[in-house]
């Protein structure tokens, strides 16, 4: 699929602020099934943009606004082509115990931080385990939304898995953090993914839709091409494996590794944030070609 993406973030401050330093992770990734053909960033007030690639391979854009200002806006435009990933490999549990798998998995087999000590969590870890690693990944995409309600406002950006367990509800970020624990505790390497999800309009609807930033995970499954482990996306919020409607920005151990924007400023003002994402299907017939 061929998408145009427009991402706008705007901060309004209650008074003048200075030395506003920000870090963006908003450029769509280039992978075996995704290609970013165009990418532009505009900041107001104007600032010099500096780019580098972080430890996980995500492009990072940094900028600072030194002069006093009461508003900051970031406009991002991108053109992305995606393709449907290959069918995930079926494999036996024993294939997770090879040296090649452990080397590819790296830190994504380890806890990303403190995890709750909970009988409820232990029960979920045991329940999600299936006949194979792939079966377990699929079961995870069903188990998490079966047990927890998707409800905006139930949690906040700094919420923990314990908060999700206590509230019985959360958003995509919470579902993914729980999914990571369920897979890692079963020996399956898993990583957090940040991006966008195309929400197809109803029949006869417009080819442009307002969406929100989205989160899913990628699990490392043995038995891919040439026998090497392969990462395969899974979306517990939408009960399915990730496909060509998912546009990836980057990945990490957890949300804190790939937030779209974060920053600090000097001043006593409070801030209000507004973010909007518009995805446009540019060509219904386009295929990935990547």
Q: Could you tell me which residues are beta bridge partners of residue 79? A: 4, 38
User: Is residue 123 within a helix (H) or strand (E), and if so which, with residue range?
Assistant: helix 119-128
Contacts of 154 (CB under 8 A, 6+ apart): 167, 169, 170, 171
93-257 to CATH, choices 3.30.70.980, 3.50.50.60, 3.10.620.30, 3.40.50.2000: 3.10.620.30
More reliable by pLDDT, 203 or 201: 201
Residue of 229, 127, 263 whose CA lies nearest to 186:
127
Does residue 7 surpass a pLDDT of 90? yes
What is the reported pLDDT for 288?
44
Helix (H, G, I), strand (E, B) or coil at 105: helix
- What CATH number was assigned to the domain covering residues 2-82+258-283? 2.60.40.2250
For the chain, which residues make up each domain, given as ranges? 2-82+258-283, 93-257
Least confident segment among 64-73, 131-140, 196-205, 267-276:
196-205
Which of the residue ranges 114-123, 225-234, 276-285 has the most confident prediction, judged by mean pLDDT?
A: 114-123
Q: Which residues pair with 72 in a beta bridge?
A: 11
Residues whose CB falls within 8 Å of the CB of residue 189, separated by 6 or more in sequence, listed in order:
101, 104, 105, 106, 108, 109, 183, 219, 220
What are the residues facing 271 on neighbouring strands?
Answer: 13
- The helix (run of H) or strand (run of E) holding residue 145 is helix 133-147
How far apart CA 281 and CA 222 sit, in angstroms, is: 33
What b/e string do you get for 248-283 counting C-beta neighbours within 10 Å, with b at 16 or more? bbbbbbbbebbbbbebebebeeebeeeeebebebee
Average pLDDT in the 175-182 region?
A: 98
Rg (CA), the chain: 20
Query: What is the average pLDDT score of the chain?
Result: 93
Mean pLDDT calculated for residue range 241-265: 96
Retrieve residue 14's tokens: 């209650």
Q: Is the pLDDT of residue 196 over 80?
A: yes
**Rounded CA gap, 254 and 126, in Å?**
22
pLDDT at 224 over 80: no
DSSP at 90? P
The answer to whether 3 and 82 are in contact (CB under 8 A) is: yes
The pLDDT, as a whole number, for residue 201 is: 66
């Amino acid at each position: 699929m061929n998408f145009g993406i427009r991402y706008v973030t705007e901060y309004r401050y209650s008074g003048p602020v200075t030395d506003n330093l920000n870090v963006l992770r908003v450029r769509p990734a280039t992978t075996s099934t995704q290609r970013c053909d165009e990418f532009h960033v505009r900041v107001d007030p104007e600032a010099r943009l500096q780019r580098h690639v972080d430890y996980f391979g995500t492009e990072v854009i940094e900028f600072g606004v030194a002069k006093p200002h009461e508003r900051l806006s970031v406009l991002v435009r991108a053109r992305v082509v995606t393709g449907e990933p290959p069918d995930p490999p079926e494999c036996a549990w024993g294939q997770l115990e090879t040296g090649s798998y452990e080397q590819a998995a790296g830190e994504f087999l380890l806890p990303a931080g403190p995890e709750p000590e909970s009988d409820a969590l232990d029960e979920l870890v045991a329940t999600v385990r299936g006949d194979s690693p792939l079966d377990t990944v699929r079961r995870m995409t069903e188990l998490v939304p079966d047990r927890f309600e998707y409800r905006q406002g139930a949690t906040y950006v700094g919420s923990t898995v314990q908060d999700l367990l206590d509230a019985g509800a959360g958003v995509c970020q919470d579902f993914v953090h729980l999914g990571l624990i369920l897979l890692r505790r079963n020996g399956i390497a898993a990583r957090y993914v940040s991006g966008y999800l195309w929400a197809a309009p109803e029949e006869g609807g417009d080819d442009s839709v307002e969406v929100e930033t989205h989160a899913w995970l990628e699990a490392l499954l043995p038995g891919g091409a040439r026998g090497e482990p392969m990462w395969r996306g899974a979306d517990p919020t939408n009960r399915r494996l990730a496909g060509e409607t998912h546009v990836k920005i980057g990945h990490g151990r957890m949300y804190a590794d790939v937030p779209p924007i974060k920053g600090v400023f000097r001043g006593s003002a409070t801030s209000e944030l507004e973010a909007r994402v518009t995805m446009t299907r540019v060509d219904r017939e386009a295929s990935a070609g990547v």
